[in-house]
């Protein structure tokens, strides 16, 4: 009898330890970021860029097979009020909302997450500190420092949003300059960063190099190697969908790739 009890105790203890040490995953029924789900399944994902608040135009793009829509707030005059109406108007469509914020500030990221963005895309990340700030403001405690408030997100993603948001809101950081490339290994390794985006056009802009030139491609390879070594997803323009290692893409839609 003692042997049976001892074996049962060991089995229960082992199961408890295995559960405690297992990677954190959303509870059953709380995973609603379909982009993250597809990436976990090893699939490629594509997003359409939106620089207008025209909901009807956005619906057509969202229904064209895109996995997410990239609401552009770095290089557009769009306000958060307009972005909120856009996300609300696209509720129920297969493409989920991501927002490229102007910068990794608390105000920008707080507003973007509060209105329901499931992905925060942060441009011009050149330092570990900026990557950490992006995670800090996109995630609730104990992971980050996002505050709670009256917001649209729970009406879109459920009454348990506060409990499920950290597992569903993704952080995408963009490396666009030689300074960013120089710190790529440390940036990609920041906990909470999900995707590293090799920003092809601005990397050319800031280096004077053309895509395809050996020195330019060396920079892309460094971003790629750092990202994959850190176990993060690698992103780029839609035209790079054939490049090995890339899985997250900004599709052209009606606008230019970044």
Q: What is the pLDDT along the chain (258 residues), one digit of tens a residue?
A: 444 433 333 333 333 333 333 333 334 346 899 999 999 999 999 999 999 899 998 888 878 899 999 999 999 999 999 999 999 999 988 899 999 999 999 999 999 999 999 999 999 999 999 999 999 999 999 999 999 987 899 999 999 999 999 999 999 999 999 999 999 999 999 999 999 999 988 899 999 999 999 999 999 999 999 999 999 999 999 999 999 999 999 986 444 444
> Helix axis angle, 106-114 relative to 128-138, nearest 10°?
40
CATH code of 238's domain: 3.20.20.60
| Residues with active-site annotation | 75
The answer as to whether 15 is a domain residue is: no
The answer as to whether 65 is a domain residue is: yes
Domain count, the chain: 1
Distance from C-alpha of 46 to C-alpha of 106, rounded to nearest angstrom = 27
Residue-range definition of the domain harbouring residue 61: 34-251
Distance from C-alpha of 99 to C-alpha of 174, rounded to nearest angstrom = 13
> Considering the entire predicted model, what is its pTM?
0.85
């Amino acid at each position: 009898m003692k042997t049976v009890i001892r074996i049962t105790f060991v089995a229960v203890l082992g199961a408890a330890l295995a559960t405690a040490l297992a990677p954190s995953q959303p509870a059953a029924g709380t995973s609603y970021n379909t982009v993250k789900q597809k990436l976990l399944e090893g699939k490629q994902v594509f997003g359409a860029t939106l620089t207008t608040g025209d909901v009807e135009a956005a619906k057509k793009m969202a229904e064209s097979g895109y996995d997410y829509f990239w609401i552009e707030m770095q290089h557009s005059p769009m306000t958060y009020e307009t972005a909120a109406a856009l996300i609300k108007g696209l509720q129920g469509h297969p493409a989920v909302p991501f927002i490229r914020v102007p910068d990794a500030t608390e105000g920008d990221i707080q507003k973007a997450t509060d209105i329901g963005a499931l992905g925060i895309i942060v441009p011009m990340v050149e330092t570990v500190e900026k990557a950490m700030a992006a995670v800090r403001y996109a995630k609730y405690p104990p992971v980050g420092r996002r505050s709670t408030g009256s917001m649209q997100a729970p009406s879109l993603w459920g009454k348990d949003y506060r409990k499920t948001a950290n597992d569903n809101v993704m952080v995408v950081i963009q490396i666009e300059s030689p300074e960013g490339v120089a710190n790529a290994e440390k940036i990609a390794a920041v906990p909470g960063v999900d995707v590293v985006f090799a920003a092809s056009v601005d990397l050319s802009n800031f280096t004077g190099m053309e895509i395809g030139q050996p020195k330019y491609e060396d920079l892309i390879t460094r971003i790629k190697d750092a990202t994959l070594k850190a176990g993060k997803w690698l992103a780029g323009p839609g035209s790079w969908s054939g490049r090995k290692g890339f899985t997250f893409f900004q599709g052209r839609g009606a606008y230019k790739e970044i």
